[in-house]
Copies of this chain bind each other. A is one copy, B any other.
């Protein structure tokens, strides 16, 4: 079994009200010194057996089109216990 992890984060220039609300709440919860919080999504895909090259291409396509809205989000795709494929912008 292979696990593919896709991390999707709002682009830096896009307002992230959820992250902002958390950042604002932190000092009142006694947690100081956090400059910023951003909230994104994490997807874990489980694939039976070993990931084939074709499947990997499929999943990269899905990550870039379905799991991410490229207008407002970037993503990083990671195959667990495997190398990292980074198709988003530098993070």
Q: Which residues of A contact B (CB under 8 A)?
A: 1, 7-9, 19, 22, 25-26, 29-48, 55, 58-59, 61-62, 65-67
Contacts and interface: CB of A to CB of B under 8 A. Distances in A.
A7 B42 contact: yes
B38 A44 contact: yes
19 contacts: A7-B42, A8-B42, A9-B42, A9-B44, A19-B43, A19-B44, A22-B43, A22-B67, A30-B58, A31-B55, A31-B58, A31-B59, A31-B61, A37-B46, A39-B41, A39-B42, A40-B41, A41-B42, A42-B42
Contacts of A32: 55, 58
Contacts of A9: 42, 44
